[in-house]
Amino acid sequence: MSHQPHDHQRCISTALQAAEQLCGSKGVRFTELRRRVLELVWQSHRPLGAYDILDTLSREDGRRAAPPTVYRALDFLLEQGLVHRIASLNAFVGCSSPEHRHQGQFLICRNCHEATELDQQRIHRAIADSAAEHGFTVEAETVEVAGLCARCREAA
């Protein structure tokens, strides 16, 4: 997916719809809070930190949102594959293909902080094969590549 100017409202509604379907088919509850948190994560293609989410929720509700409830909602979204965690930014980004399980691979722009998700079996295979050569069992695998996106490179 490239992030040229686009109708982002559509990204959001598609993601929320996909989440509803996914939760429905798995028989897990897509509560109002879970939905709201996912919507906030999807407000842009920039990964969003838990504290930003807390701040927005608190502002909207006029009282401090409880951190544990937000963390639990984020854990739920992670478990369902609806968001990925970007360790280098300690932040979360929405996944546009949650219906199939995959590991996160991201190009992260150091200037605008947009994260572009790659979903390359080749990268996954290369990691799995290399790990196997070391007798290593992969439990979690997130590839984060830092650099400059096409738009920021042009503007530079």
Please report, as ranges, the residues that interact with Zn ion according to CB under 5 A: 8, 11, 95, 109, 111-112, 149, 152
Residue 109 assigned as binding residue = yes
CB of 110 to Zn ion, least distance (A): 8
Comparison of 86 and 109: residue with beta carbon closer to Zn ion: 109
CB of 152 to Zn ion, least distance (A): 3
Comparison of 10 and 134: residue with beta carbon closer to Zn ion: 10
HSE value, Cβ hemisphere, 13 Å, CA-based, for 82: 30
Comparison of 70 and 109: residue with beta carbon closer to Zn ion: 109
Residue 152 assigned as binding residue = yes
Number of helical H runs and strand E runs in the chain: 6, 5
Answer for the pair 93, 118: CB distance below 8 angstroms, yes or no: no
Taking the CB of residue 91, how many other CB atoms lie within 10 A of it? 22
CB of 65 to Zn ion, least distance (A): 25
Residue 12 to residue 14: CA distance in whole angstroms: 5
Helix-strand-coil percent breakdown of the chain, rounded to 5? 50, 15, 35
Closest CA to 43 of 52, 31, 33: 52
SS3 state of residue 49: coil
Residues making up the chain, counted from first to last: 156
Comparison of 58 and 141: residue with beta carbon closer to Zn ion: 141
CB of 47 to Zn ion, least distance (A): 12
Where is the binding site for Zn(2+), in residues?
109, 112, 149, 152
Where is the binding site, in residues?
109, 112, 149, 152
